[in-house]
Structure 1
Amino acid sequence: MRVEDLKVHFPVRGGLMMRRQAVVKAVDGVSLRIAPGETLGLVGESGCGKSTIAKALVRLVDPTAGKIVFEGEDITRAKTGRMRPIRRDLQMVFQDPVESLNARHSVREILEEPFVIHGGFSPADRRKKVAELLDRVGLPAASADRYPFEFSGGQRQRIGIARAIALEPKLIICDEPVSALDVSVQSQVLNLLLELQRELGLSYLFIAHDLAVVKHISDRVAVMYLGKMVEMASSEAIYRDPKHAYTKALLSAIPHPDPTREVRRMLLEGDVPSPINPPEGSAFGHRLGHPDYESTVGLDMPLVEIDPGHWAAADPCCLEKADWEKARSQL
């Protein structure tokens, strides 16, 4: 998948005539690529636009601008009829398995639904497929006749994963699939996703706010702040040598199991700016009250390649002096 300058804006309406009074810039110019068999981790604070990107990529919300290309086809404005066959190869695992699974349907009905929608499967074929899916995600065959409320959170998420892989897709968007689970269960679900990736050759966009989880599963990591991408590099490079000040702040918040280890925390001050009225310059520099903020007002701060394969926003408020010099030379 290739995403170019994606924007998703939502109108804010009010007044007697419900006229548009403002715009929420949930996603404001994001570009990324996901290669076959790759896992791209997408991280950032709550409200930065991660889930909106996920919904836009599978066309659950319409992009305002930009381009989404999947398997060489531009699907940015694809209608429902065109999207239906594409969704065989493009699936999603949602954050909350309680909300994403129909409580009135049995597990068998939930897992048979993709085969019913896309056709070509007899009732016997569907029953066989359901049994295979349950076995693949580590659930007993008897689970098919039970209902979602009879399962634990981790088991419900396994059902959601089984539904996502039913048609053997090429790319799965995982929208914080383990954030609602206990820590012990998180590792089981993450290992299941890795095992399925090896077996089926899947690509993942893995969205999370826990950088320790992202490090475990991702090949590359992209960091978002207030609707924009601020850094992107391999997982190893991000954790070894973060460039952007916001990335450094996120990494400093990761808890360490060794209580004797001294950790330098980067405590953030100020409030996250509103996506309805974002700063005109560096969003993170504005939050920090950086002395160079005024110089960034109206400045274009695109991602530039500071080191080979390591991209960061060309933001003088958020880069070390040497990195800023590298970035400025490319503007």
Structure 2
Amino acid sequence: MHFPLRGGIFLTKSGACKAVDGISLSLKKGETLGIVGESGCGKSTLGKAIVRLYEPTAGKVAINGQDITKMSQRQLRPLRRQFQMMFQDPAESLNPRMSVGEIVAEPLVIQNIGNAQSRREQVLSLLNRVGLSESAVDRFPFEFSGGQRQRIGIARALALKPELIVLDEPVSALDVSVQSQVLNLLLELQEEFGLSYVFIAHDLAVVKHISDRVAVMYLGKIVELADADTIYKNPKHAYTKALIAAIPVPDPAARQQREVLGGDVPSPINPPAGSAFGHRLNHPRYEESIGLDLSLVEIEPGHWVAADPCCLEDEDYQRARQLADSQ
């Protein structure tokens, strides 16, 4: 997903911001795939590209084997029942001029499902399922707390009984106690309805709680992908290790050795020619990474990592390089 940069009197294209660059992912039915990384690494852009809120610059998005990438909005409309998105800020994603009942019923109206009475019954059922009272149906979003507004967003996402929901940092704006309530609700709904989640977050502790597999993003690329336990117990990539080391430990007596990352995140407008993370750290092997294929290799069963000399231990890098060269 590259965004064109334009300038000059005639707004001619002068470059591109490579927000998402060369990512390939798959998702099983009923699975939760966590996407983690620093702010600005392209997580939200990836989520919006998956549900076609952005039209990808290249590549394809396939839902149940059906390529939706080049479909017109008219062709895409009936297929939107299969996938929905839940946004980060519930205050911004809910129309303040619409009642909660109108907000939750809107997908049903757009898809021409049922009549006014059946829609209201379904809305009341959805609100009850996400833990809101029936009296909420005629009230407005500003009358609710952040956690309650996020529950409204969940009810709206469930209205069309989708198979996939892309969750863009759904708990980052909530208090910690409310976060756990919303996460537990999402897990209950997943089991009840057989949902698949793409769970986008920068909080690795939250991702660990809810995800089956975790993909680590850096500067628009996936640098490591494995099941959640493997990522946390045996990370291979230096960036993944730095993120895990930054997770706070709920013990005031515990002492942690934290590695403070130096340098600045490179610009996606003019990314480095070699290892992006190695460039940030001014790594001595950065020059070696220029021109190398840094795509993911399966270094262990189900554990994928970028074959990057700046970010792997020597033994892991030799193994990854052999695999990359044999592909």
Shorter-normalised TM range: over 0.9
Structure 2: runs of 5+ lacking an equivalent = none
Choose which of 118, 121, 133 in structure 2 pairs with 1:125: 118
Equivalent in the alignment of 2:102? 109
Deviation readout 1:43-71 (Å, 9 max, x if unpaired)? 00000000000110110111011111111
Deviation readout 1:112-147 (Å, 9 max, x if unpaired)? 111111113011101100110000000000000000
Percentage identity across aligned positions? 66
Deviation readout 1:236-270 (Å, 9 max, x if unpaired)? 00000000000000000000011222212121000
Rounded to whole Å, the distance in 2 between the matches of 1:329 and 1:297 is 17
Deviation readout 1:290-316 (Å, 9 max, x if unpaired)? 000001112111100111111000001
Runs of 4 or more consecutive aligned structure 1 residues displaced over 2 Å after TM superposition: none
* Aligned residues of 1:176 and 1:208 also touching (Cα < 8 A): yes
* Cα deviation, residue 14, structure 1: 1.3
* Cα deviation, residue 175, structure 1: 0.3
Q: How does 1:1-331 map onto structure 2 within 5 Å?
A: 8-331=1-324
TM-score computed with the length of structure 1 as normaliser: 0.97
Equivalent in the alignment of 1:4? none
Say which SS state the counterpart of residue 31 (structure 1) adopts: coil
TM-score computed with the length of structure 2 as normaliser: 0.98
Say which SS state the counterpart of residue 191 (structure 2) adopts: helix
Structure 1: runs of 5+ lacking an equivalent = 1-7
The code of the aligned residue for 2:32 comes to: T
Rounded to whole Å, the distance in 2 between the matches of 1:266 and 1:311 is 23
Rounded to whole Å, the distance in 1 between the matches of 2:58 and 2:105 is 35
Say which SS state the counterpart of residue 60 (structure 2) adopts: strand
Rounded to whole Å, the distance in 2 between the matches of 1:202 and 1:188 is 18
Rounded to whole Å, the distance in 1 between the matches of 2:17 and 2:311 is 24
CA RMSD of aligned residues (A): 0.7
The code of the aligned residue for 1:231 comes to: E
* Cα deviation, residue 150, structure 1: 0.4
Rounded to whole Å, the distance in 1 between the matches of 2:144 and 2:113 is 30
The code of the aligned residue for 2:181 comes to: Q
Rounded to whole Å, the distance in 2 between the matches of 1:299 and 1:68 is 27
Rounded to whole Å, the distance in 2 between the matches of 1:72 and 1:20 is 34
Say which SS state the counterpart of residue 28 (structure 1) adopts: coil
Rounded to whole Å, the distance in 2 between the matches of 1:62 and 1:224 is 20
Rounded to whole Å, the distance in 2 between the matches of 1:236 and 1:83 is 36
Rounded to whole Å, the distance in 2 between the matches of 1:123 and 1:21 is 51
The code of the aligned residue for 2:5 comes to: V
* Cα deviation, residue 285, structure 1: 0.3
* Aligned residues of 1:98 and 1:148 also touching (Cα < 8 A): yes
* Aligned residues of 1:248 and 1:266 also touching (Cα < 8 A): no
Equivalent in the alignment of 1:3? none
Rounded to whole Å, the distance in 2 between the matches of 1:48 and 1:311 is 19
More strand by share: 1
Rounded to whole Å, the distance in 1 between the matches of 2:283 and 2:252 is 32
The code of the aligned residue for 1:304 comes to: V
* Cα deviation, residue 195, structure 1: 0.5
